[in-house]
Amino acid sequence: MDNSLIVTVSEFIDLLNQTLEFAYPSISIIGELSDFKISKNKWIYFDLKDDKAKARFFGTVYQLPGPLKDGLMLKVRAIPHVHPQYGFSLTVQHIALSGEGSIKQASDLLKAKLIAEGLFADERKRSLPYPPSRIGLITSVESAAYTDFLKIINQRWGGLEIILNNVQVQGEPAIEQIIQAISQFNQMAYPPEVLVITRGGGSVDDLQIFNHELVTRSIAGSRIPTLVAIGHEQDVSLAELAADQRASTPSNAAELLVPDKNSVIEQLKMTRQQMTTHLLHSLQMVQITVADYKKTLQTEISQHITQSHNYLHSRSEIIALLDPQAILKRGYAIIFRQKHTLRQISDFRKDDLINIQLNDGSLEATVNNVIKM
């Protein structure tokens, strides 16, 4: 007797899908990518395979972590499904790279693509305000990065407003959360002056979200300048390359963002000293100028006095030369007649009573004879 269930083909497909949905509401499958195709720039089709089997996947380009090529190892979260016309496939929910080699290869592919677009070009880099007054911080409050960043920034500077957007910094949800956080800050009416996206070090797998194309593009597209600090020593992530500035660790991010207030206070003391020196110098300059004026004035006055003295001396010498008494001393005499000076022979007549003035006295005389030359 045949006890098997009898159903139509459509019913069987529905039943199969219900069974699959119940058994595997979501499943992550690891395998090597093959036969990867993009259709109409929107749909993606690919197989994941291993040594013994392969499975077909279907999704959208928006789910791609970046450019992919056959041979890469992927971890794909998907929903198994049987299509009434096309048979079995897995509908993609999330694609991640699997294994360090594949992560590196995919990252290199994306890096080449973004470099060609000029996304990492130096010309795109903006300088960060130094120090900023408002910082948008995108990290996980549970991470050491959060604690380290705050510790250093609080040690170094004060008066900052730090707006935290608490996100996961690894795993699948981190991608959407970081993109959303960047977008949220950028849409604020009064946005922060700088965005800091940070996390501590981790495995290549942990850090692969910082090589995700959408995360990288979101950072590059931020209107607010960005500082990305991923605590690792090896390869620089694409997110860091897209940022306006990168820091090696969360602590280093804090150091790059703000000066050390103790150094600034020391610098202010030196500035105060410098100002005092400059003021004293100005005062000294004025004192020198005043002293110069004084000296010039003294020289001028002294010259005037000497000139006046010389003038008086020369005049007194002339006056001395013209003094009649000086002539008399040399043996000459002046002859008067009734107070009139007699200068030539025609002024004399015989028997005139004349007065002769000499250097040391005078005498009266009578003219006996007048002889003309």
Where does this chain bind other proteins (CB under 8 A)?
A: 129, 131, 133, 136, 141, 150, 153-154, 157-167, 177, 180-181, 183-185, 187-191, 261, 264-265, 268, 271-272, 274-276, 278-279, 282-283, 285-286
Residue nearer to other proteins on the CB measure, 173 or 324: 173
**Closest approach of Cβ 297 to other proteins, in Å?**
20
**Closest approach of Cβ 184 to other proteins, in Å?**
6
Residue nearer to other proteins on the CB measure, 57 or 185: 185
**Closest approach of Cβ 56 to other proteins, in Å?**
36
Residue nearer to other proteins on the CB measure, 156 or 232: 156
Residue type, 273: Q
Residue nearer to other proteins on the CB measure, 149 or 210: 149
**Closest approach of Cβ 180 to other proteins, in Å?**
7
Residue nearer to other proteins on the CB measure, 46 or 146: 146
Residue nearer to other proteins on the CB measure, 15 or 279: 279
**Closest approach of Cβ 154 to other proteins, in Å?**
6
Residue nearer to other proteins on the CB measure, 71 or 173: 173
SS3 sequence of the chain: CCCCCCCCHHHHHHHHHHHHHHHCCCEEEEEEEEEEEEECCCEEEEEEECCCCEEEEEEEHHHCCCCCCCCCEEEEEEEEEEECCCEEEEEEEEEEECCHHHHHHHHHHHHHHHHHHCCCCHHHCCCCCCCCCEEEEEECCCCHHHHHHHHHHHHHCCCCEEEEEECCCCCHHHHHHHHHHHHHHHCCCCCCCEEEEEECCCCCCHHHHHHCHHHHHHHHCCCCCEEEEECCCCCCCHHHHHCCEEECCHHHHHHHHCCCHHHHHHHHHHHHHHHHHHHHHHHHHHHHHHHHHHHHHHHHHHHHHHHHHHHHHHHHHHHHHHCHHHHHHCCCCEEEECCEECCCHHHCCCCCEEEEEECCEEEEEECCCCCCC
Rg of the chain over CA atoms, in angstroms? 56
Residue nearer to other proteins on the CB measure, 101 or 158: 158
**Three-state SS for 184?**
helix
**Closest approach of Cβ 280 to other proteins, in Å?**
10
**Closest approach of Cβ 225 to other proteins, in Å?**
15
Spatial separation of the C-alpha atoms in residues 317 and 128, rounded to whole Å: 89
**Closest approach of Cβ 245 to other proteins, in Å?**
18
Spatial separation of the C-alpha atoms in residues 78 and 89, rounded to whole Å: 9
Handedness of CA 201, 93, 183, 123 (dihedral sign): positive
**Closest approach of Cβ 164 to other proteins, in Å?**
5
Residue nearer to other proteins on the CB measure, 283 or 291: 283
